[in-house]
Structure 1
Amino acid sequence: MSTKQSSPSKLEIDIQFASAAIEEKVFALASSAAIKKWVKATVHLNGLITLRFVNLAEGKKLNFAFRSKDYATNVLTFSYELSKKTVTADIIFCLPVIQKEALEQSKPMRAHLAHLVIHGCLHAQGLDHERDKEAKKMEDKEIVLLTSLGFTNPYAPI
C-alpha cells in the first residue's frame, strides 16, 4: 500500500542588488542563506519572491512611480499573484533608509533588516497595516516570526 505524501513548497527566492556597493553592505549584515531563511520562515507557499536592495535614487523613483510619494521608503512590496498555494512578488528595500531608521531607533541593523524582510513578505501574502486591527495582526505575526529566528520584539520600547 502506498501513501501519498505532500511535497514541500517550492519557493524560489531571488536576491538582487542595485550595485556592488549595496551588495557588499547587505552581505556584511546577513548572508544570502540567512536572508533566505527569514523569507522561508514567513512564506509557506510555492512561487517566487524577489528581494531587491536599492539606493536612495532608485527607492525614490519607485515610490514616486507607484505610490506618488516623492521620497524613498524602507520597503515596497509588489504582489503579482497570491492564492492559497502560490505567491509571486517583488520586494524592494532601500538600504540607506533602513540604515538611517536603525540608527534613529537604536536598533541593530541586522535585526531591523530581518524585520523588514518579514514585513515585506507578509505584505506579499496580503497582510496590511492600514487599519488598527490589521496592524495588530501583522505586528503579532512579525513578533512571533522574529522571536522564532532569535530576534527581539521590534515594537518593544527601548
Structure 2
Amino acid sequence: MTPRVEFVAASPRWRAAVPARSLARETIAVAASESGVALAPGAELCIHLSDDERVRALNARWRGLDQPTNVLSFPAVAPAEIAEARLLGDVVLAFETLAREAAEDGKPLADHYRHLVAHGFLHLIGFDHDNDADAERMEAIETRILARLGVADPYRADEAADARP
C-alpha cells in the first residue's frame, strides 16, 4: 500500500532546486514497498519542505538541540498501531542543511533528498537507529530503496563522506 503524500512548502528554495514533490512521492512508494510494513488503506503523511530556521526551532523544542538538522520525523502513532493508522505523521526537511551536505559530499541534491525522505518515512513507520542492530537494519532498507531509485549507497565509504541521518 502506497500512502498518500501531502506537502507544506515553507521555503521557496525547494521549488527551484529539485522536483521535490514527484521525487518524494516516488521515494515513498518504493520505501513503503521495501519496508515490509503493512499500511492501512488511505494512510497518509505530510512532508514539510522547510528551511534551517524552522527546523532549528523544531529541533530545539522537541529534541533539546538548538541547531538545524537535515530531517526530522514526527510519527503520529506508535509502531504497533501503524497497520491501522490513517495518519502516519510528518517529515520535515531543512533545505540549507540538505543542500550543504550534498555539496560537501559531492552528491546530487536530488539523491541526498531522496535518501532523507526515505529515512524520515522509515522513522514514521517504526524504524530507528538507536542501537547497532537497528541501525544496520534501517541502513540496509534505505540502501535497497535507493538502489531501486538508481541512487548510490550513501553508507559506502567510497560513495559518501559520512552517514549523516
Instruction: Tell me if 1:11 matches 2:7.
Output: no
TM superposition outliers: structure 1 runs of 4+ over 3 Å: none
Q: Secondary structure at the match of 1:70?
A: coil
Give the TM-score normalised by the residue count of structure 1. 0.86
How has the CA–CA distance of structure 1 residues 10 and 153 changed in structure 2, closer, same or farther, with 3 Å as cutoff?
Answer: closer
- Bigger Cα Rg: 1
Aligned residue in 2 for 1:116: 116
Structure 2 equivalent of residue 4 of structure 1: none
Root-mean-square deviation over aligned CA pairs: 1.6
Residue type of the alignment partner of 2:26 = K
Distance 1:90 1:11 in 2: 12
- In the alignment, the residues of structure 1 paired with residue 122 and residue 14 of structure 2 have an alpha-carbon distance, to the nearest angstrom, of 23
Whether the 8 Å contact between 2:52 and 2:94 is mirrored in structure 1 is yes
Gaps of 5+ in 1: 1-8
Aligned equivalent of 1:30: 19
User: Greater relative contact order: 1 or 2 (C-alpha under 8 angstroms, separation 6 or more)?
Assistant: 2
More strand by proportion, 1 or 2?
A: 1
Structure 2 runs not aligned, ≥5 long: 34-38, 159-165
The aligned counterpart of 1:83 is 82
Cα offsets for 1:71-97 (capped at 9, x unmatched): 011000000124224351100000100
SS in 2 for 1:83: helix
Check if 1:40 corresponds to 2:29. Answer: yes
Give the secondary structure class of the aligned counterpart of 2:83. Answer: coil
Tell me the number of residue pairs that the alignment of Structure 1 and Structure 2 aligns.
147
The letter for the 1-side match of 2:50 is V
Residue 62 of structure 1 aligns with which residue?
58
